[in-house]
Structure 1
Amino acid sequence: MDDDRVWSFEKSLWTGDADHYRELVDDACLMVLPHPPFVMSGAQAIEAVANTPRWTEAELSKGQITRPQEGLIVIAYHARAAREGETYEAYCTSTYRRLSHEEWRVVQHQQTLPLALPGTVEEG
């Protein structure tokens, strides 16, 4: 999968519906999110997405891609998403594995909220 397709694939997970998510997230996937239950299986994540309004906008930036072996892609990036007057921001990682030619599934996803370190926040 080329880089443009990787970013398109990842962005579609933020904005796609539950059926799309179900198609791209492996049952063996593990996710860590910054809200309860914090650690989820692929099946739990799919259920959560089915019961949550989808993001209408998603901007991915500061992206990095690595391919540590054939059939494995690991990405890291900053996400900014919006829906119905709500915004969300996180640093994320995802890992994809290839099942067959042009068929990929997410097997790991993690989101970390931005942290403000002492002395790095401007007051005012």
Structure 2
Amino acid sequence: MTDKDDLWALEKRFWTEGASDAHHLTAKGAVAVLPYPAGILVDEAIWRNNAVAQRWRTVAFSDLAITRKGDVAVLAYSVSAERAEVPIYEALCTSTYLNDDGVWLRLSHQQTPNGPQE
């Protein structure tokens, strides 16, 4: 697997696997910018937010873009995500990763809802 493949697989894990796994793969001091009401979350506040704790059953990424400069990589994409009893969630997203001694850690994540949200 290439770093590019690893990063996309890691990004999918953040959407679908448990919060404890995602927490372990997140850099200390990370920032998340999520739709209302979550807003801007920093470091441990990310993991105390109910919206972050809930995982998605399925996700589909499209319009993939990635750029890398040294030990930093930025992923940009559209997501369509589904979980029980919630309308399909569509958003434009970016995530920034830092390669810390061979381990990719997510440093930031941002979501902009794509279209009307209920």
Question: TM range, normalised to the smaller chain?
Answer: 0.7 to 0.9
- Give the 4+ runs in structure 1 shifted more than 3 A: 49-52
State the superposition RMSD in angstroms. Answer: 1.9
The unaligned stretches of length 5 or more in structure 1 are 117-124
**Whole-angstrom distance in 2 between the partners of 1:52 and 1:2:** 27
Distance 2:84 2:40 in 1: 26
Distance 1:49 1:16, change over 3 A: farther
From the superposition, tell whether residues 50 and 114 of structure 1 become closer, same or farther in structure 2 (CA, over 3 Å).
closer
Ranges in structure 2 where 5+ consecutive residues have no aligned partner: none
Matched length: 114
TM-score of the superposed pair, with normalisation by structure 2: 0.87
Find the counterpart in structure 2 of residue 58 from structure 1.
59
Task: Tell me which amino acid in the other structure corresponds to 2:112.
Answer: T
* Paired-residue identity, %: 33
User: Structure 1, residues 22-64: CA drift from partner, whole Å, max 9, x if none?
Assistant: 1111221111111124100131112226974310101111110
Q: TM-score, normalised by structure 1?
A: 0.83
Greater radius of gyration (CA): 1
1:110 matched to which residue of 2?
Answer: 110
Provide the residue aligned with 2:7 in structure 1: 6
Asked whether the 8 Å contact 1:27–1:41 carries over to 2, the reply is no
Query: Which of 27-36 and 55-64 deviates more?
Result: 27-36
Q: Which residue of 2 aligns with 1:80?
A: 80
Contact 1:14/1:54 (8 A) holds in 2:
yes
